[in-house]
Structure 1
Amino acid sequence: MGGVSIWHWIVVGIVVMLLFGRGKVSDLMGDVAKGIKSFKKGMADDEVETAAAARPAEPVRPLEDQRPVTAQPAPVGERKLG
């Protein structure tokens, strides 16, 4: 007593088949398979996103280089005509 043998599992399986019928059990197993496939696809998508995020970022430029460049007129004495 206390141990679960293969015969116990067979009896449990027969009772489940009688209660739910073959159609519902096969539908349930199909749904489980779809869930596993979706989970694997999601894990693969996460790996692709992780690989893309792992790329090194561009180096940060010093503040002097980040100032906007504005066109300044040349001094009056240095203007070229023509």
Structure 2
Amino acid sequence: MGSFSIGHWIIVLLIVVLIFGTKRLRNMGGDLGSALRDFKKGLSGDEANPQLKADPPVGEKAQSETKRENAE
């Protein structure tokens, strides 16, 4: 009486799928996985911020190049 059998878990799983739907569960699983990955990366001491190394968006890059050309 204290533990659930496999039948109980199947019923619970079916109810969860009916309530949330498979697409939403997949999205939640992906979000949870990326959150855990980021958490592990933070614990490992990898402090490199990928956003700082990224190229600026095309519009900003074009504007900065135009400013440089006008300055010359």
What's the TM-score bracket when you normalise by the shorter of the two chains?
A: 0.5 to 0.7
Query: Match for residue 2 of structure 2?
Result: 2
Alpha-carbon shift at residue 3 of structure 1 (Å): 2.5
Whole-Å separation in 2 of the counterparts to 1:35 and 1:10 = 27
Residue 33 (str. 1) matches residue 33 (str. 2): yes
Query: Match for residue 13 of structure 2?
Result: 13
Alpha-carbon shift at residue 2 of structure 1 (Å): 3.4
Structure 2 residue identity aligned to 1:5: S
Structure 1 residue identity aligned to 2:42: G
**TM-score, normalised on structure 2?**
0.59
Whole-Å separation in 1 of the counterparts to 2:38 and 2:3 = 36
Structure 2 residue identity aligned to 1:21: G
Q: CA RMSD in A?
A: 1.6
Alpha-carbon shift at residue 6 of structure 1 (Å): 1.1
Among the aligned pairs, what percent are the same residue? 40
Whole-Å separation in 2 of the counterparts to 1:45 and 1:2 = 42
Whole-Å separation in 1 of the counterparts to 2:42 and 2:2 = 41
The total of aligned residue pairs comes to 47
Q: 5+ unaligned residues in a row in structure 1: which ranges? A: 49-82
Whole-Å separation in 1 of the counterparts to 2:45 and 2:14 = 40
Query: Following superposition, which runs of at least 4 residues in structure 1 exceed 3 angstroms of deviation?
Result: none
SS of the counterpart of 2:44? helix
Q: 5+ unaligned residues in a row in structure 2: which ranges? A: 48-72
SS of the counterpart of 2:45? helix
